[in-house]
Chains A and B, each alone.
Chain A
Amino acid sequence: MSVPPIPSEGSAAASEGLNPRAPEGQRKGLGAEGSVYIEHDHHELSFIKKYIFSVDHKMIGLQFMFTGLVMLGLGGALAMAIRWQLAWPWTEVPVIGELLFPATGGAMSPEFYTMLFTMHGTIMIFFVIIPMLTGAFGNFLIPLMIGAPDMAFPRLNMIGYWAMVPGLFFAIASFFVEGGAAAAGWTAYPPLSTIKSAAPGSMSGQTYWLLALTFSGISSMAGAVNYATTVVKMRAPGMTLMRMPLTIWSLFIAALLQLFALPVLTAVSIEQILDRVAGTGFFTPTNLVVNQLNAEGAGEAAGGQPLLWQHLFWFYSHPAVYIMVVPAMGMASDILSVHARKPIFGYKPMAYSMMAIAGLGFIVWGHHMFASGMNPALGMTFMVSTIMIALPSAIKVFNWLGTLWGARIKLTSAMLNAIAFVALFIIGGLSGIWMAATPVDIYIHDTYIIVAHFHYVVFGGTMFAIWAGIYHWFPKMFGRIMNERLGQIHFVGSFIFANCTFYMMHQIGLAGLMRRTADPYAYEVYAHLQPLNEFISISAFCLFFWQGFFVFNFFWSIFKGQRVGRNPWKATTLEWDAPSPPGHGNFDRELKVYHGPYEYASPLVDEDYLQQTRSVN
C-alpha cells in the first residue's frame, strides 16, 4: 500500500484561514503552488443539505447517476414493448397489456407504438446517456482527477441537477395528457410534430416533450459552463493540459460541444413551441392540409420550411452524438490503461483525435438529410466531412489496440466492459461508413441498418463504457468494491445478448425494412423476417432481465461490498490519492503533479505504477 502519509504541515498552514472563493484582489498569502486553503471542520449537514440540495460535486454526480439508472430502467422497458410489437404485432402484451389496452384485449395500438419509440429515444438520449456521462461521471470525476476541491461554481452545479428534474417531470407526465406522449420520433420533424391534427401525440404531448428538452438543455448548459471553467482554472499544480487523463480531455471536449451546439437546439425548440402554441409558421409551409384541416385557415402563419428544423436540429443533435460517445472513449481509455498495466498508446494522438472528432462534428450534420430533399451539392460536402470523421475514430481504435499490445491485462469486470467497448465500437464505427457514402445511403437511410449502427455506438459503445466506469470508480464513490463474480456474470450475458440483439438488425435493414414501423409484416416481402425479429426480441428480453445481476450487485455492494483503501486498482491518477469515498473538499493533503497520467510499468520505480503525485528523485 503506497498511500503517502498525510503531511502534517497541512493543518499548520490551514490556520491562516483564507476563503478560496474570495475575489482575486483579496487573495493574500497564496501557497507556494498557488493554492488557497481554509480551515475546515466536518460538521454534520442536515439530511436535506447532504443528499437532496447538495452542492458537493460527488453527491450531485451520484444524484445524476441514480436518476440515470432509474430512467435507464424506464427507457429499457419501453424498448421491451417495442420489441414485443415487432416480433408479435397486435398480440396481447404480456403482464401490462390488459392494464394498458383494455379496449383491444391487451394489444397495443399503432398510435401507442409511435409514442413508444419516440419516448424510448428521448429518454435514453436526454435522460440516461447524457446525464450519466456528463452529469454523473463528469461531476464525480472532473474535480477528483484534476485535484480540485469541488466544481468552480458548486451552487450552479446543484441548479444543474435540479433543472433536469422539471424535464423529467414533463417527459413522464406527457404519457398522461390527452393524446398521449409525443409521437413524432425523437427527431420531432415538423409538420408532424407541429400540426396538432397530424398525430395524437402532437396534441399536447409534443409541447411537454419540447419543455422536457428545454429543461434538460438548461441542466446540460449549467454543467458545461462549470466543467469547462473547472478544467481550465482549477487544476492542481503540475497538472498541465497534456498531463490530464483522457477522461478529463473527453469531458472537457464534450462540455465545449454542449456550450456551442446546445443553444441552437434551445432556439429551435422555442420556435417549435411557438409554432404549436402561438401559431407562428417557422416550419409550416404554405397550403398545408393535414387531416382535411388547412393550417392557414386554422389561424396559423405559413411560409416556413420543414427542412429548416432538420438543419438546426441536427446542428445540435449531431454534435450530441459525440457528446454521447466522446466521454465514453475517454473513460474506456483510462480503464484500459489501468487494468492493462501499461501506458496508453499514443496519448497525444488520442487527445487530438477527440478534438478532431469534436471539431468535424460541427460540419457533418447534413448527413442525416441526404434523402431529405436538401440540395444534393450540399450532400456532397457533408459526405466528405462525414467520411473523414471516421479517421480520428480509426486512430483511436488502433491506439487502444496498441495499448493492449505487450500489456499485463487484469480481466476485472471494469476491464471486460472496456474491452467490449472497443470490440463493439469498431462495429458501430465501421457500419457508419455506409451511411456517410451518399449513394449507398439512398438505400440504407431510415432502414434498420441505421438502428443497428447507432445502437452499436450508443449501447455497444457508450453503455459498456458506462458499466466499465461504474465498476472502475465504484470504490471511489462508495468506499467499497463491487462483487467480481457477479460482475463477470453480468458482463458475459450482456455481451452475448447485446450482440444477438443488435447485430441481426443489420440483416433486417439490408433486406430493406424501414425503421419506426409498427408492423413489419404489413408488407408481404418482409414476412420472412419474422423469425429473425423474434430472435432479436428474445435476445433483447434476455438482455433486459440480465441487468438484474447488475442492479443486485450495485445495491448489494453499496452496503455489503468489500471495503477498500484509497487505491484498490493501483492506478496513477489523482482521484486515487483521495480517501474512498473522499470527504468534503476531496483531498486531505496538498497535491503536486509530477508525471503524466499513464505511468504504468515505469522503469523508474519498482512497482508497476507511478502515481502522478509521486516524485522520483
Chain B
Amino acid sequence: MRLLVTLLLFLVPVLGVWTFWTAEENGWWMPETVTTYGPDIDYLFYLILWMVAFFFILTEGLLVWFVFKYSKKDDTKGVYSHGNHKLELLWTVVPGILLLVIAFSQMETWADIKYRGNLPKTPPIAHVWASQFDWRVQYPGADGEFGTWDDVESPHLFVVPSDEDVVFILHSRDVLHSFFVPAFRLKQDAVPGMAIPVWFNVDKAIDEEGAEDKEAIRLYDLICTELCGWGHYKMAGRVEVRSREKFDEWMAEQEANVMSNGKEDQS
C-alpha cells in the first residue's frame, strides 16, 4: 500500500503539470488573443500560473516525500512537535506578500478594461440586444442616431471595424445573458434593466494558420455564458472583424437596404 499510495500521490503533480505543458498542442488552451487588452490578461494569467505551479509542485512534492518517508513500519515515536513559530511566520509572510503582489498587479488592467472613466471617448457603434436565444445588433444607420427608422438591424452578426476602439452598449430584453468572445478575452453579462457599455479594440488579425492578414474578414464566435433557459447551449452569434474600409462598405450596403425598404414602407 505504501508504494502504491506514493505512486498515486506522485502522479498528481507529474500528470498535472504534464497536461498543462501539452495542453496547447492538444488544443486544450485559450485561443490566441486578438484585442489590445488580451495580452495584458494573458500576462496576468501566466503570472499566476507560474506562482501556482511553483507552490503546486512544492506542496505536492513535500506531501509525496513525507508520505513515502514516514510511513515505513517503525515502532519508535514520531517527532513530538507542536509547531514552530519561525516556520509559521515564514509561511504566513511569504505567501502573504506574494498574494498582495498578485492582487496589486491586477488592478491597473482591471481598471483599464472595466472602469467607466477609462471607456474610450468614441461614440457607441451599436446597441447589442440579447434575448432568448439570440443576439441582435442595432446600428444607428445613416443619420447616426439610435432609435430612428433608419437604424440598421443585424441578427446574430456583430460587424466591427479593426484597429480602433469599439464601444457598444449591452442590453438584455428578458433574462440574464453573457457576451463572451474567447479570442477577445471579453465577457460581460447582459442584465435586463441595465445598459452596460463595453469596449474592445481588435488589433491583431490572425487567421487559422496563424498568419496575419489585415485585409481578411475574420469571424469569431460569440457565446452566451450565463444560463438563459433551455436554449442556452445554442445561443450563438458571430463577431465579424473587418478593416475600416470594408466595414464602411458593409455599412453602406446595409444602410442602402434599409433606405429602399423604408421607401417601400412609406409608399
Nearest chain A CB to B187's CB is how many angstroms away?
5
B180 within 8 A of A: yes
A13 within 8 A of B: no
A141 within 8 A of B: no
Chain B residues within an 8 Å CB radius of A373 = 188-189, 191, 194, 196
Taking a contact as CB atoms under 8 Å apart, the answer to whether A383 and B106 are in contact is yes
Chain B residues within an 8 Å CB radius of A177 = none
A280 within 8 A of B: no
B263 within 8 A of A: no
| Given A401-B62, A445-B225, A346 and B83 contact (CB-CB distance below 8 Å) | yes
Which of A110, A306, A423, A512 is the one whose CB lies under 8 Å from B12?
Answer: A423
- Cβ proximity bits A331-358 to B, threshold 8 Å, 1 near / 0 not: 0000000001111111111000000000
Cα distance A189–B111 in the bound complex, in angstroms: 27
Taking a contact as CB atoms under 8 Å apart, the answer to whether A408 and B59 are in contact is no
Taking a contact as CB atoms under 8 Å apart, the answer to whether B30 and A510 are in contact is yes
A159 within 8 A of B: no
**Which positions 509-541 of chain A face chain B at CB distance < 8 Å?**
510-512, 514-520, 522-525, 528-529, 532
Nearest chain B CB to A531's CB is how many angstroms away?
10
**Which positions 132-175 of chain B face chain A at CB distance < 8 Å?**
132, 173-175
Which of B78, B223, B229 is the one whose CB lies under 8 Å from A407?
Answer: B78
Taking a contact as CB atoms under 8 Å apart, the answer to whether B95 and A391 are in contact is yes
Chain B residues within an 8 Å CB radius of A431 = 52
Nearest chain B CB to A12's CB is how many angstroms away?
39
What is the total number of residues of chain A having a CB less than 8 Å from a CB of chain B?
A: 116
Taking a contact as CB atoms under 8 Å apart, the answer to whether B110 and A192 are in contact is no
Taking a contact as CB atoms under 8 Å apart, the answer to whether B83 and A349 are in contact is yes
Taking a contact as CB atoms under 8 Å apart, the answer to whether A603 and B80 are in contact is yes
Taking a contact as CB atoms under 8 Å apart, the answer to whether B175 and A191 are in contact is yes
B44 within 8 A of A: yes
Nearest chain B CB to A368's CB is how many angstroms away?
11
B244 within 8 A of A: no
- The residue among A287, A345, A443, A511 with the most chain B CB atoms within 10 A of its own CB is A443
Taking a contact as CB atoms under 8 Å apart, the answer to whether A405 and B79 are in contact is yes
A430 within 8 A of B: yes
Which of A391, A399, A427, A443 is the one whose CB lies under 8 Å from B41?
Answer: A443
Q: Which residue of B lies closest to A377 (CB)?
A: B115
Cα distance A44–B83 in the bound complex, in angstroms: 48
Taking a contact as CB atoms under 8 Å apart, the answer to whether B114 and A379 are in contact is yes
| Given A114-B227, A446-B225, A507-B23, A406 and B31 contact (CB-CB distance below 8 Å) | no
Nearest chain A CB to B59's CB is how many angstroms away?
5
Mark the stretch among A195-203, A245-253, A264-272 that contacts chain B. A195-203
A52 within 8 A of B: no
Nearest chain A CB to B90's CB is how many angstroms away?
9
Taking a contact as CB atoms under 8 Å apart, the answer to whether A446 and B187 are in contact is yes
Chain A residues within an 8 Å CB radius of B191 = 285, 306-307, 372-373
Nearest chain B CB to A199's CB is how many angstroms away?
5
B204 within 8 A of A: no
Which of A407, A503, A507, A532 is the one whose CB lies under 8 Å from B70?
Answer: A407
Taking a contact as CB atoms under 8 Å apart, the answer to whether B70 and A340 are in contact is yes
Which of B63, B91, B132, B188 is the one whose CB lies under 8 Å from A198?
Answer: B132
**Which positions 410-465 of chain A face chain B at CB distance < 8 Å?**
410-411, 416, 419, 422-423, 426-427, 430-431, 433-434, 437-440, 442-443, 445-447
| Given A290-B132, A488-B1, A496 and B233 contact (CB-CB distance below 8 Å) | no
Chain B residues within an 8 Å CB radius of A408 = 70, 74, 76-78
B121 within 8 A of A: no
Q: Which residue of A lies closest to B62 (CB)?
A: A401
Taking a contact as CB atoms under 8 Å apart, the answer to whether B60 and A423 are in contact is yes
A18 within 8 A of B: no
Taking a contact as CB atoms under 8 Å apart, the answer to whether B225 and A447 are in contact is yes
Cα distance A287–B191 in the bound complex, in angstroms: 12
Nearest chain A CB to B181's CB is how many angstroms away?
9
Chain A residues within an 8 Å CB radius of B84 = 345-346, 402
Taking a contact as CB atoms under 8 Å apart, the answer to whether A387 and B31 are in contact is no
Chain A residues within an 8 Å CB radius of B228 = 192
Taking a contact as CB atoms under 8 Å apart, the answer to whether B30 and A430 are in contact is no
Binding site of B, secondary structure by majority: helix, strand, loop or mixed? helix
Taking a contact as CB atoms under 8 Å apart, the answer to whether B103 and A383 are in contact is yes
B122 within 8 A of A: no
| Given A426-B59, A434-B45, A447-B225, A286 and B193 contact (CB-CB distance below 8 Å) | yes
- Cβ proximity bits A379-405 to B, threshold 8 Å, 1 near / 0 not: 110011001101100110111011011
A602 within 8 A of B: yes
Taking a contact as CB atoms under 8 Å apart, the answer to whether B236 and A523 are in contact is yes
- The residue among B12, B66, B180, B186 with the most chain A CB atoms within 10 A of its own CB is B66
Cα distance A523–B223 in the bound complex, in angstroms: 9
Taking a contact as CB atoms under 8 Å apart, the answer to whether A390 and B99 are in contact is yes
Q: Which residue of B lies closest to A198 (CB)?
A: B175
B217 within 8 A of A: no
Cα distance A508–B23 in the bound complex, in angstroms: 10
A564 within 8 A of B: no
Nearest chain B CB to A490's CB is how many angstroms away?
13
Chain B residues within an 8 Å CB radius of A411 = 1-2, 5, 71
Nearest chain A CB to B109's CB is how many angstroms away?
4
Taking a contact as CB atoms under 8 Å apart, the answer to whether A409 and B67 are in contact is yes
> What are 24 A-B pairs with beta-carbon distances under 8 A?
A184-B227, A185-B227, A285-B192, A288-B193, A306-B193, A346-B82, A372-B189, A373-B191, A376-B116, A380-B107, A383-B103, A383-B110, A384-B103, A395-B88, A404-B66, A408-B78, A419-B5, A423-B9, A430-B55, A437-B103, A438-B114, A442-B41, A446-B226, A506-B19
Q: Which 8 A-B pairs have the closest CB atoms?
A: A285-B193, A406-B79, A507-B28, A512-B182, A376-B114, A346-B83, A409-B71, A601-B77
B residues at A contact (CB < 8 Å): 1-2, 4-5, 8-9, 12, 15-16, 19-20, 23, 26-31, 40-41, 44-45, 48-49, 51-52, 55-56, 59-60, 62-63, 66-67, 70-71, 74, 76-84, 87-88, 91-92, 95-96, 99-100, 102-103, 106-107, 109-111, 113-116, 132, 173-176, 178, 180, 182, 185-189, 191-194, 196, 221, 223-234, 236
A residues at B contact (CB < 8 Å): 109-111, 113-114, 183-185, 189, 191-192, 195, 198-200, 285-291, 305-307, 340-349, 371-373, 376-377, 379-380, 383-384, 387-388, 390-391, 394-395, 397-399, 401-402, 404-411, 416, 419, 422-423, 426-427, 430-431, 433-434, 437-440, 442-443, 445-447, 488, 492, 495-496, 499, 503-504, 506-508, 510-512, 514-520, 522-525, 528-529, 532, 596, 598, 600-603, 608
